[in-house]
A and B are shown apart, each in its own frame.
Chain A
Amino acid sequence: MNSHSFNWPHAVACVLVAVTAVLLCFGALVTTFDAAMAVPDWPGTYGHNMFLFPFAEWFYGPWDLFLEHGHRLLGALVGMISLALAAVIWRSRQSPAVRGLAAAAVLLVVVQGALGGARVLLDDKTVAKVHACTGPLFFAVAVAIATLTRRASSSQSATSPAAVRSAGGLALASYVQLVAGAQLRHLDASVDPATFRWLVAFHLAGAAAVAALAVAAVLCTRTCGQPAARRWSLAILLLVGFQFALGVGAWVVNWGLPSGLLPASWAFSDPLLARSLWGATVVTGHVVLGMMILGASVVLSIAAGVLRSSVKSTVRPQQADRIRERAFA
């Protein structure tokens, strides 16, 4: 590729990341307002072709219909951008690792669409959980593609193994936190208290792990010679601090204050509080910020060296020739 030509793969990947971020916000709001069944059919919307559903009826209609149908339209748009991205990446001779990620994005978006449909048709909470776990994974893949297709990224050198490990661990822990969070967000009313306590403990332990890894990433990237990695690690630490505050807020608006912590007259546990403007902002913000931390961790991981070497070959040309000669002799 000519170094002065427009970097289409990176541009399309950035568009994909931006649209996916909006899609994730809509998805989080759908769960917060329990709007998933606002449109009971799939893939159509109230008998219409999804794309031909009357605009006014959607845009000025009920809030839950606006969220659910908007989520579907954005999902379809993300699917189309993913296909376009895969096509652009194939044509532009990107590295096989980037091609692999583009293929993963297409597979994930197809799976995610099918899961969204199954969630509506089966009206099943577990499918909703899987759907909630697939969204952030797709977002992480899109962010990885956008980062790896930057021209500057392939020219930077790899950093210390400690930085790579802490950054990769942070990305993994952030995703596991989203998986645990999805269990709590889509909690079945019939779940027993022991399971609920266990899930909460798991989520809190995960939060501690993410915080510890964020601190470790800051320390490890301090001397790694990658200014970008250092900046991203500091930003993530800041985001994790906000996330703690939002986590406490999400707990309060969902389940009230823990009994005994404050006088009974001060404590409240109205579940509808989560659907108020402030409540919805806090709860949805907690989920969306979690996904942003995941995305930032992926950028940090790549800046620190994860997947960077997969752009370059580790096999010497002579060795490669020898293997090929033996195969095709």
Chain B
Amino acid sequence: MTPPTDCASEFTAATFAAAGPMPMHQTDSMRARSPVAMIAADISRLTRPRIAVMVLATVVASMWLTAGRGVGGPALFWLLMGTTLVAASSSIANQILERNADRLMPRTARRPIAAGRLSVPAATMLATLLVAAGGLMITLSSGWQPAAAAVATWMLYVVVYTPMKMRSPLNTAVGAVSGAMPVAIGWLAADGPQRLAAGDAAGALAVAALGTVLYLWQFPHFMAIAWLYRSQYAAAGMRMLTVDDPSGLRAAGQSLAASLAMVPVSLVLAVPSGSIRLFLAAATASLVYAVATVGFAVRRDDASARTLLFTSLGSLLALLTASVVFGPPT
């Protein structure tokens, strides 16, 4: 239910790294935080709400492209609540499985399970409860099909992608599937199959494009993160592409291929509405992303990787926003 990247925490860490060492008085004030603030920080580290927000935005955009203004009401609220819980559960399960590696990386060492503030049995129980409750909410509000898609996403992320990070640099290609699967949740929840059977091929085409965009988008995004933290990943024994090939050439090649292929696929988002504005917005967002990727491919340094990381978030946000604002089918 989460993108394969630990995007929220890594993005924050990248931002801190860009800002330089933290002043002494700030670290002191952090140490002196109240217990409530510390618990809130732990919950945030455990459930990674920024990733959940990105997943929810994807679900909503997918539903919007499928059903247009028919989206909304209590069913949507419970669908999003359920999706949030499943996303949180996948994050906890990921941290249970990676606790030993997390301890070896400064950016993840403070996670509650890795730091020993939350026991593994308690975390396991929490993850199980959350995925069960989330799945139930989605089933009752939107039917079994989106619930099955949510659970399948959870399984792919936790059971396949997470262990694969320690074994093969192909983990990105597999993990990116779980990052794109929230599109299927939205499509199924908005009666996508029935609409397709009734002849609404354009809506299905746009949703397929959104899923493909999300899949391709993750390659440059993740390669930028994998470059910035290549030493930490190496220390933890994670088989990232930038660890297997520290020159970054292979990461650059994969990023280039994905970002260039993303350009036409993102333009397909404009097909159901025929909106020129969405067309041009998608072209702009994807081209800016491709340019940032070329910059990374050429320079392969921390600055270009950080630029690519920021650009990836901005371009995805722009694409999703433009899809929702300009893209509902007429």
| Residue positions of A touching B, CB distance < 8 A | 95-101, 103-104, 107-108, 111-112, 115, 118, 122, 124-127, 129-130, 133-134, 137, 141, 168, 172, 175-176, 179-180, 183, 188, 191, 195, 199, 305-310, 313-315, 319-320, 323-324, 326-329
Closest beta carbon of chain A to B88's beta carbon, Å: 30
Q: What is the number of residues of chain B that contact chain A, defined by CB distance less than 8 Å?
A: 48
* Contact in complex: B287, A176 (CB < 8 Å): yes
* Contact in complex: B246, A320 (CB < 8 Å): yes
Contact residue among A125, A183, A188, A309 (Cβ-Cβ distance under 8 Å from B298): A309
* Contact in complex: A101, B256 (CB < 8 Å): yes
| Residue among B231, B235, B261 with max Cβ neighbours from chain A (10 Å) | B261
- Digitize B224-251: 1 where CB-to-A-CB distance is under 8 Å, 0 elsewhere: 0000001101110111000111111110
Q: Which residue of A lies closest to B272 (CB)?
A: A126
* Contact in complex: B247, A179 (CB < 8 Å): no
Contact residue among B265, B267, B299 (Cβ-Cβ distance under 8 Å from A314): B299
Contact residue among A172, A199, A315 (Cβ-Cβ distance under 8 Å from B247): A315
Q: Complex formed: what's the CA distance from A112 to B264 in Å? A: 8
* Contact in complex: B249, A327 (CB < 8 Å): no
- Digitize B243-279: 1 where CB-to-A-CB distance is under 8 Å, 0 elsewhere: 1111111101111111011011101101100101001
* Contact in complex: B294, A307 (CB < 8 Å): yes
Q: Complex formed: what's the CA distance from A127 to B235 in Å? A: 48
* Contact in complex: A107, B249 (CB < 8 Å): no
Q: Please indicate the chain B residues that have their CB under 8 angstroms from the CB of A324 in the complex.
A: 234, 243-244, 246
Can you name 16 A-B pairs with beta carbons within 8 Å?
A97-B256, A97-B297, A104-B256, A104-B257, A108-B261, A124-B202, A133-B264, A179-B280, A309-B298, A310-B252, A319-B246, A323-B230, A323-B234, A324-B234, A326-B235, A327-B239
Knowing A130-B264, A137-B264, A315-B247 touch, does A323 contact B231 (C-beta < 8 A)? yes
* Contact in complex: A183, B237 (CB < 8 Å): no
Q: Complex formed: what's the CA distance from A51 to B204 in Å? A: 30
* Contact in complex: A195, B301 (CB < 8 Å): no
Q: Please indicate the chain B residues that have their CB under 8 angstroms from the CB of A95 in the complex.
A: 249, 253
Q: Please indicate the chain A residues that have their CB under 8 angstroms from the CB of B235 in the complex.
A: 326
| B283 touches A (CB below 8 Å) | yes
* Contact in complex: B287, A96 (CB < 8 Å): no
| Residue among A98, A134, A305 with max Cβ neighbours from chain B (10 Å) | A134
Q: Which residue of B lies closest to A140 (CB)?
A: B260
Closest beta carbon of chain B to A240's beta carbon, Å: 20
* Contact in complex: B233, A111 (CB < 8 Å): no
* Contact in complex: B234, A130 (CB < 8 Å): no
- Digitize B82-126: 1 where CB-to-A-CB distance is under 8 Å, 0 elsewhere: 000000000000000000000000000000000000000000000
Q: Complex formed: what's the CA distance from A172 to B287 in Å? A: 8
Closest beta carbon of chain A to B231's beta carbon, Å: 6
* Contact in complex: A314, B300 (CB < 8 Å): yes
Q: Which residue of A lies closest to B284 (CB)?
A: A176
Knowing A129-B267, A314-B248, A315-B246 touch, does A111 contact B261 (C-beta < 8 A)? yes
* Contact in complex: A130, B260 (CB < 8 Å): no
In the A-B complex, the 3 residue pairs with the closest CB atoms? A100-B253, A96-B253, A313-B247
| B317 touches A (CB below 8 Å) | no
**Residues B130-183 near A (CB distance < 8 A):** none
